[in-house]
Amino acid sequence: MAVTLDDKLVVAISSRALFDFEEENRIFDKEDPGPYMQLQLDRLDVPARSGVAFSLVKKLLAFNTPDQRRVEVVVLSRNDPVSGMRIFRSAEAAHVPLERGVFTQGRDPFRYLKPLGAKLFLSANEDDVRQALAQGHPAARVLTESRQAGGNYPDEVRIAFDGDAVLFSDEAERVFQQRGLDAFQAHERGKAAMPLPDGPFKPLLVALHKLQQATAGGMRIRTALVTARSAPAHERAIRTLMQWNIAVDEAMFLGGLEKGVFLREFEPDFFFDDQTGHVRSAARHVPAGHVMPAPIEPLPADSPAEPPALPREGAEAPPLPQA
């Protein structure tokens, strides 16, 4: 019988997201990768330090048992195969059981996400993440400067999600961006009973939900919705999750408050957000990834509510009320 990953939660991750290769990366030159390759070869027996997503990966792999593998982590990297040897040796030294890897030596790696059936792609490469998201894969650019996860919850994978443009579509976000806070609140109040369309990270949330249901004892999953929405816009987000038949463990409706200090208390192994300001705030306290948004498309011309006056060029946008 052929080996398949169809029944597993597959996470694809780049080497810089899993390990701290920032020193090596500083000498990388795509026109002449030789010095980088030689440095990795020289350090073949030197285990790399853990990277931003290391805690998440190690905890997810702990769901596997000798009798059943429920999670598969695949290194998907622009590195060369020689550098790949150091990645696998570093994983072995850290007792992280990695078995699979794809090394493209500078070529686009994201095209392998589809055959892998990946439910998450984490990379420090912005272009790769954008391409993956455009193809419909849950993906985030890892902020390598993020604070790493603490060790207070060794038996619990803790993941926090933004709402709009992450778990949910950017429908409501477009209303706010183009028509302002009052129009946004009216839009969400009027559609409170109508579920939001799916966002790019719904497949990951569904996969985590299935993983939790299939696991008896041992490792657990704890999720949080951390959104800049506030009442009355909270109701539509909650009803959407109810319609999906998925419950998050915690929900924070912060009404534009800085998210980082709240995430510090939740202590996630990873946080996903589409807004640069929120991601940077989070990265000071927890591992964070940027779900880079697609360009905001204009609302239909016949849509109700008049748009607010456009800010002058170069002016900052108003505080964001959506997730």
Report whether 207 contacts 119 (CB < 8 A).
yes
pTM of the model: 0.88
Rounded Cα–Cα distance for residues 249 and 282 (Å): 19
Candidates 162, 164, 170, 273; catalytic one: 162
Per the structure block, which two tokens stand in for 271?
A: 């946080």
Q: Looking at residue 259, which CATH number applies to its domain?
A: 3.40.50
- The structural domain count of the chain equals 2
Q: Looking at residue 114, which CATH number applies to its domain?
A: 3.40.50.1000
H or E, element range at 139: strand 139-142
Q: How does pLDDT run across 121-161, given as a tens digit for each residue? A: 999 999 999 999 999 999 999 999 999 999 899 999 999 99
pLDDT at residue 40 tops 80: yes
Instruction: Give the residue from 92, 115, 141 where a domain finishes.
Output: 141
Asked whether residue 111 falls in the same domain as residue 169, the answer is no
Rounded Cα–Cα distance for residues 25 and 75 (Å): 17
Q: Quick one: how far is CA 52 from the chain centroid?
A: 12
Q: How does pLDDT run across 78-124, given as a tens digit for each residue? A: 988 989 999 999 999 999 999 999 999 888 999 999 999 999 999 99
Asked whether residue 160 falls in the same domain as residue 286, the answer is yes
Q: What's the mean pLDDT in 8-19? A: 96
Residue 299 confidence (pLDDT): 58
Q: How does pLDDT run across 171-220, given as a tens digit for each residue? A: 877 777 777 677 777 878 888 888 899 999 999 999 999 999 988 778 99
Note whether residue 296 is domain-resident.
no
Asked whether residue 66 falls in the same domain as residue 163, the answer is no
Q: CB under 8 Å to 151, separation ≥6 — which residues?
A: none
Report whether 291 contacts 161 (CB < 8 A).
no
42 is catalytic: no
Nearest alpha carbon to residue 161 among 112, 215, 221: 221
* Residue 263 structural domain: 156-290
Residue 305 confidence (pLDDT): 43
Report whether 12 contacts 116 (CB < 8 A).
yes
Report whether 289 contacts 204 (CB < 8 A).
no
Asked whether residue 131 falls in the same domain as residue 216, the answer is no
